[in-house]
Each structure stands twice: as C-alpha cells, then as structure tokens.
Amino acid sequence: MCRAWYDQTSRRIRDLPCGALRVYLDVSVRRVDCPTCGRVKQERLDWLARNLHYTKRFAWYVGHRCRSASIHEVAQELRLDWHAVKAMEMEYMQAQLDVVGPPTPRVIGIDEMSIRKGHVYRIIVSDLERAQPIWFGGTDRGEASMTMFYDFLGASETAALRLAVMDMWKPFRKATRAQAPQVAILYDKFHVLRQLGSALDQVRKSEYKRLTNRPDRRFIKGQK
C-alpha cells in the first residue's frame, strides 16, 4: 500500500481547442513512495489519454478527425507529431470497438485493399447487415491471410455465418469453403458481368475471323 507522499511534478497537458486557440492545462501530478514494494508510483488520472501529454477527450477529438481526414492532414492541422496522431486514432478506435462489442456477423463482405504500390494488399471484411468493417489484416490477399480472419472470428461465430459476398478471387473462395463450408457464396455483380463481357468479346472475335464477307462483318464490328 502506498502511504508517504513523495513529491509533485508539474505537467503541461493539451486539451480541446477553443476555436483556433490551442488550450493547455498545467497539472500537478503526485508521486508516492510505496513502502511495500519500495517503488515510486505516480498518481493515475482517469481523464488522461494513454499518452499522458493529452487529455482523453482531446485524444478522442483527434481520433474523430481522422475519420474524415488522413493522419498527415490532422497532424499538420493540429501541429502534432504523426506518430502521436496515429496512437490517438488507435485509442479512439479501440473505444468504439469496446462500445460495439465483439463481432457477431451472419452476412460478411470480403474484399482486398492496396496499401501501397507494388501489389501490397490487405484483406478487409465487413458485417453487411450492420454496415461496418470488422477485420482488416493478413499479409497479402492469399488463402492463408483469409484464414487468419476465420481464426480471429472463432469457431462458434464462423459456424454461425450464412452468407459471404466476395469477388471471384479463388483464395477467398477456397479459404471460405475450408473454414466455413455451410456458408453460401455470392459473387458481386461487377465481377460476374466482367466475366460475361470477356466471354462475349471472345465470341465476337472468333465470329469476326470466321466471316470473310465484309458486308457480313459489319454486323459484328462495333456492335458490342
């Protein structure tokens, strides 16, 4: 048990802005000497963010701004370090996840996202009934990365899935068939139409080559 007062340290903590003005709080934080463990412990203030230089409400303000702007833009606007903004965005998102609770999807949408040039991808999975993303991860868009989502979801929730909407990327289908065989797979309309369009082009080209009479070719050329 901590008993004897040790000392007080003054700390400048950034709070919510007032219009265009930045607001700082000068706070005295007490440190106490614990005779039981022999260590000096610092007073814990619930209204401080994980980064003790900011209030929790300021961290959530920064995180909310990141929903409509990039981390770089928010850092420039508020004159903050990029890494500090990233950490506060993660704290804000964790608070949102704590409110929502663990994912319990029944209908999921699967897609990939390019995170930088050079065909570097990550997989994003959304709960389509609740219209919200529930997982972003993997190391690429391969079958092993897709399996990581089902490991994250857990056996019981995976067994409760009934529909998966995806494009016609084979690793997504193979991983879903292996991990959730009860799930019905629905391919999105865009990729189905693209396959039909490719098949139609092949037929048109073969018919154009087959016809040697120029008047007959006019019914094919430019008539897609």
pLDDT for 15-54, tens place per residue? 999 988 999 999 888 878 777 777 887 778 889 998 889 9
**59 and 129 both lie in a single domain:** no
**14 and 57 both lie in a single domain:** yes
Give the DSSP letter string of 201-212: HHHHHHHHHH--
User: Of 41, 73, 100, which residue is a domain's last?
Assistant: 100
Query: What residue numbers bound the domain in which 156 lies?
Result: 107-187
Q: Domain of 158: which CATH number?
A: 3.30.420.10
Identify the three-state secondary structure at position 33.
strand
Whether residue 214 is contained in a domain is answered as no
Query: Which backbone phi and psi does 121 adopt, to 5 degrees?
Result: -120, 155
Whether residue 54 is contained in a domain is answered as yes
User: Of 100, 130, 163, which residue is a domain's last?
Assistant: 100
Whether residue 178 is contained in a domain is answered as yes
Residue 208 pLDDT grade (very low, low, confident, very high; cuts 50, 70, 90): confident
> What's the structural domain count of the chain?
2
Residue 214 pLDDT grade (very low, low, confident, very high; cuts 50, 70, 90): low
199 Cβ contact partners less than 8 Å away, ≥ 6 residues apart: none
Task: Give, as one character, the DSSP assignment of residue 54.
Answer: B
User: Of 100, 135, 164, which residue is a domain's last?
Assistant: 100
**78 and 158 both lie in a single domain:** no
pLDDT for 112-156, tens place per residue? 998 888 788 999 999 999 998 899 999 999 999 999 999 999 999
pLDDT (0 to 100) of residue 152: 94
**11 and 89 both lie in a single domain:** yes
pLDDT for 55-110, tens place per residue? 999 999 999 999 999 999 999 999 999 999 999 999 998 888 888 788 899 999 99
